[in-house]
Amino acid sequence: MSIINAVAYYRMSTDKQEDSIARQRSQLEPYAERNGYRILRDYIDEGIAGDEEEKRKAFMQLMKDAKRKEFAVILVDDKDRLMRFDSITQGYYVKQLRDAGARLETCSQGRIDWESFAGRITDCVLQESKKLESQANSRRVMTRMLMMANEGKWLGGPVPHGLKLIPDPVLGKRLVPGEPADVRVVRLIFELYANGYSMNALSRELAARGVRNPSGGPFWSTATLKKILRNRKYIGDMTWNSAHCGKYTSVSAGQIKTTDSRAPGGKNALQDWIIKMDLNEGIVSRELFLRVQERLSLNRKAWVELKLNRTPVIGGGQYTLAGLLVCGNCGARMIGMMNNGQPFYRCASYHHYGKRACSANMVLHRKMLDCVVRKLQEQVLNPACLEKVRQEMRQQIRDANRERPERLRELQKQIAVLDRKIGKGIERLTEIDKDLLRDVSATVRAWKEEREKLQRQMDNQKRGSDQADMEQTLDQAEAHLWHLREAIEKADPMLLREVIREFVSKIELHFEKIQAHRKIRSPFKSGVIFVRPQSELESHLDTAVGRNR
């Protein structure tokens, strides 16, 4: 009998004895000897599930080596050691093995027939049954975990710094304050951050005080600090399902959902979390924790805005139009840059994410500033425009005076409705459950703010507008407009920026795409200046000036 070159593949996903590599080897090596196979090498994946093929480095290497046609047979103890996919994914790998002239043979099922119609159908059905078994196992595990989470039981994972686990007759295990020194460190982190320390400043302060991080090192990373500051276990809450943990199942609104493909990873929405409040003894007050979460949320929003719109200089510096210019192609801000001592603006999407987000749209600072100033001079400081503003405002005042009685009645009705709502809301505050107290109080506050806003509008309506008030307002507005020319003549960047922003809300830029040999150029084509309504002038300047191209 001729000797056939073969390779052996071993895989185990758990520490169970029946899955061990030693047990598989004890079956596979005698099988190879009985059937005339010479094992050239072993491929071993440990602690990896069968349907996570991309994580199985040995399996992926085996697929690469098969293409070199060094062996004709792959030996495994059981087929699910090599493949535990659905039939579509299996077909992708079987095609590669067949093209390479390699076949699969197992100790438990014998040779796997991929050549005949009956063999392929049988193997497909068996493979799908393995997939269904994986889904069923995933659902059973997730169901059990959901039940334990609803009971407030500890479901494993790392114990947060400053806490420790102790046995509990009801919960099995529960968290309590750990070493006093670690507890003080956690409280210090929360207090410093709540009092205005940034992440970097907080890290430096801890290092300066000689406080070691949870791993014993001298430096505290931003990731470690954020992980501590966001952990609800420090206020005694037990949480589960904050991030996806099931293979083919997920928990949404307290219900188990099964998917045919692997469920996506990542964070879950807050409404899908399982939260058991005040289950353990916290080491940080809930009030302090909520203050920290509010600041983290605000800083996140500010960071996103800064990342998309930042310029090299705080406050804009010489980049007078920073924060006003918008890329007409993708809607991102144009950020100030410097090249060979010459300032210019570039699309933030392209700058941060490259050509997959937008083109390399850019415009010179001097060219754009001259254009904006010229358009504002032509339109806003034009005597005909100023006279048009006066005419518009006179007409608006006459119309407002005619409509004032009806508007007053409408405002009085709205205020009366809010008064009734506020009265009922205040009465309910003494009756509702304490868990709903915060939400009801916030609603009543919102009603009061809306009432104050309507009251101000009604007071303004009662005062009305006469010709003298209008003329005074227009004189002030015109004086402010002429201030723009003064700023232009002085060429003071700070003064010019302030004045331009008084009149302009944004400037939308549009660019061409020109193919030049192998490169694509994006020269500036046109722009639209969006004029900002000015206090009491409101829509009048919009009407008079409009959009300047």
Most confident of 178-187, 306-315, 460-469, 507-516: 178-187
pLDDT score of 386 more than 90? no
Q: What is the pLDDT of residue 257?
A: 77
Distance CA 529, CA 380 (A): 12
pTM value?
0.44
Residue 535 neighbours by CB distance under 10 Å: 11
Distance CA 28, CA 26 (A): 6
Distance CA 240, CA 43 (A): 37
pLDDT score of 262 more than 80? no
State pLDDT tens for residues 223-251.
899 999 999 899 988 888 777 766 677 77
Q: Mean of the pLDDT values across residues 295-299?
A: 77
What phi, psi does 547 have (nearest 5°)? -100, 125
Residue type, 376: L
pLDDT score of 494 more than 70? no
pLDDT top residue among 499 and 527: 527
Q: What is the pLDDT of residue 535?
A: 39
Q: How far is CA 403 from CA 163, 240, 399, 458, in A?
A: 67, 58, 6, 13
Residue 62 neighbours by CB distance under 10 Å: 22
Most confident of 116-125, 219-228, 458-467, 488-497: 219-228
Most confident of 144-158, 196-210, 298-312: 196-210
Residue tagged 């796997």 (tokens)? 112
Q: What is the pLDDT of residue 82?
A: 86
pLDDT band at 388; cut points 50, 70, 90: confident
pLDDT score of 98 more than 80? yes
In 195-285, where does DSSP find H-type helix? 199-208, 222-229
What's the chain's average pLDDT? 78
pLDDT top residue among 9 and 488: 9
What phi, psi does 485 have (nearest 5°)? -65, -40
Q: Quote the strand ranges of 85-236, DSSP E.
A: 103-106, 110-111, 163-168, 172-177
pLDDT score of 436 more than 70? no
pLDDT top residue among 96 and 316: 96
Report the percent of the chain where pLDDT is more than 90: 17
- On whether the CB atoms of residues 336 and 316 are closer than 8 A, the answer is yes
Query: Of the ranges 45-49, 84-88, 116-120, 493-497, which one carries the lowest mean pLDDT score?
Result: 493-497
Distance CA 54, CA 446 (A): 53
Q: What is the pLDDT of residue 300?
A: 63
- Give 54's DSSP letter: G
Q: Mean of the pLDDT values across residues 202-209?
A: 90
Q: What is the pLDDT of residue 1?
A: 59
- Give 506's DSSP letter: E
